[in-house]
Amino acid sequence: MLKEILQTLQIETEAEALNLILTFILSGLIGYVWSHRGQVTGTEKEKEKVEDGEGLSELQDGDVSLPGSESLLKLIKDRRSIMPKDLTGEILSDETIEYLLEAGNWAPTHHKTQPWRYIVISGPNNILDYLDFIEKWYSDNRELVSEDEFQKFQDKYSSMRETLPANVSHMLVIGMKRQALTDKLLPEWEEIAATSCSVQNIHLALTALPGCGGFWSSHTWCKHARDSNQFKEYLGLESEDRVFGAFILGRIRDGAKFKSTRADWRNKVVWRTGS
């Protein structure tokens, strides 16, 4: 059979046969590489989409060039802390939250410990579960809290229960791993600073999405529960880790306006420059 094929192809020597096989393999290889040029896997494609901000309903444009200095300063100045009373309760897409978390993940971090952790909570029932846990902690640990503090907690708790489940899209509970890498223990302030940078990244990324807003709630109203080991365990953290409240976000109600002020930076800066 092989002999007949070789005769048909007019191949008489071993060298000619080898030549033909090699040409066949090589052209197959070139064809494969050509047809797969620029192709990426499904997962990589999804990742690229999130990194490029593509496919996000809240995102306006697909321009991936860097913003100019003026646009960047405008974004920074336009970032506002927007409270739950000014949110509509609409649930933002998973892609939007992934985009925010991607932004948060690019915070600077000494020794790349990347200590920020987020627990994503969304939907009225999940937010109520979260609030229930906090309330239960206060009733189980009544003796650890003064009368005055307990009263303050109760007052604030009622308003949280009213507004958060109804108005908020997502709560990103902010955690910090005290020792994210086993071989590196940095000063705690550096890990707190890196986590804060991560939250700021999220806040700025959110500011770029028209009609969306949020704020960092340090959870002072429930600080005893927030700092407890039970709360850390509930969130999947360890006792040495920290919880810094939650970044609370959603869709801003129509017509809401926000402003803020800062004292002049010149009053906060000392120059020692020049000769």
Kindly give the residue spans of alpha helices, DSSP state H, lying in 57-107.
69-78, 94-104
Nearest one of 252, 208, 260, 255 to 86, comparing CA atoms: 252
Instruction: Give the angle subtended at the CA of 206 by the CAs of 203 and 212, to the nearest 5°.
Output: 125
41 or 260: CB nearest ligand FMN: 260
169 or 217: CB nearest ligand FMN: 217
109 or 217: CB nearest ligand FMN: 217
Q: CA–CA separation, 100 vs 92, rounded Å? A: 11
85 or 142: CB nearest ligand FMN: 85
Nearest one of 84, 56, 122, 50 to 217, comparing CA atoms: 84
Q: What part of residues 48-87 is at the interface with ligand FMN (CB under 6 A)?
A: 80-81
98 or 196: CB nearest ligand FMN: 196
Out of 60, 218, 229, 239, which residue is the one contacting ligand FMN (CB under 6 A)?
Answer: 218
Given the rule CB under 6 A, which of 18-26, 33-41, 215-223, 224-232 is the region that contacts ligand FMN? 215-223
Given the rule CB under 6 A, which of 60-68, 87-95, 167-175, 210-218 is the region that contacts ligand FMN? 210-218
Least distance from C-beta 34 to ligand FMN, angstroms?
A: 53
Out of 19, 158, 220, 239, which residue is the one contacting ligand FMN (CB under 6 A)?
Answer: 220
* Number of residues counted as binding ligand FMN (CB under 6 A): 8
Q: CA–CA separation, 267 vs 269, rounded Å? A: 6
Assess contact for 115 and 180: CB atoms under 8 A. Answer: yes
Out of 169, 198, 217, 228, which residue is the one contacting ligand FMN (CB under 6 A)?
Answer: 217
Q: CA–CA separation, 119 vs 233, rounded Å? A: 12
Does 216 participate in binding ligand FMN (rule CB under 6 A)?
A: yes
Nearest one of 135, 165, 133 to 236, comparing CA atoms: 133
Assess contact for 176 and 244: CB atoms under 8 A. Answer: yes
Assess contact for 213 and 82: CB atoms under 8 A. Answer: yes
220 or 229: CB nearest ligand FMN: 220
56 or 248: CB nearest ligand FMN: 248
Does 118 participate in binding ligand FMN (rule CB under 6 A)?
A: no
Q: Which residue shows structure tokens 């952790």?
A: 117
Least distance from C-beta 203 to ligand FMN, angstroms?
A: 8
Does 215 participate in binding ligand FMN (rule CB under 6 A)?
A: yes
Least distance from C-beta 246 to ligand FMN, angstroms?
A: 9
Complete DSSP assignment for 191-226: HHHHHHHHHHHHHHHHHTSTTEEEEEE--GGGHHHH
Q: What part of residues 239-268 is at the interface with ligand FMN (CB under 6 A)?
A: 260
Residues at the contact surface with ligand FMN, assessed by CB under 6 A: 80-81, 215-218, 220, 260
